[in-house]
Structure 1
């Protein structure tokens, strides 16, 4: 049975048989075209999915970097606002004559009348 058997029966050559053969051929072509279309659609869908997923991942990474940068800049802004508050307090203090006199005596060793300045070296 391994070898092909030759058919000794001839085919009927009627119009119905010919139509059936053409219909089978057309059906085979349609199946082949459908398989090609589905393959192309699958390839296009997979490429599009890859692009969307990679875009999403890169945008997420950029967003995380921007959020980290914002957090760092907010921290820096807080420090600068604290420094600005300190400087504003110094401005207010520098408008007071008593504070200026005290600062001049402390930093520049100025003295009032009748005061004697003793310079004591630091232990360091």
Structure 2
């Protein structure tokens, strides 16, 4: 029968020499290993730091683009609102000018409140264009004249 050898049997018994040469060699090997570790740490640091910086700057850039797009949208909406307000202002100024005209006021009073001058009789006739009455708009003289001209041309 053969004996199986265990791993302990394979180990050789030896003693380490303790002299200056061996100590210096061990120190040199340890320094070399530590130098490699420091070098790998430096490489990892200089590889990770730029990636982190680029990620942060990219995030800032994306946030600024979103903010810029939102501000541009607000600007467009504000311009549209301004145009609406200008249009409303023009129509209100026209309405003011109309209300300063005594003839327009008399026409308005006859139409809305059925007031009449002395000796005048009001007749209510059905209007083909009932939309203007529903809106409360009363055509001024220029519109009435242009409507008459348009009917003559047809």
* Structure 1 residue 108: Cα displacement: 1.7
Residue pairs, 1:1-124, within 5 angstroms: 22-23=27-28, 25-121=30-126
- 5+ unaligned residues in a row in structure 2: which ranges? 1-18, 131-154
* Structure 1 residue 80: Cα displacement: 0.7
1:4 aligns to what? none
TM-score of the pair, normalised by structure 1: 0.72
Distance 1:51 1:14 in 2: 53
User: Which has the larger Rg?
Assistant: 2
* Structure 1 residue 61: Cα displacement: 1.0
TM-score of the pair, normalised by structure 2: 0.60
- 5+ unaligned residues in a row in structure 1: which ranges? 1-12
Distance 1:104 1:70 in 2: 44
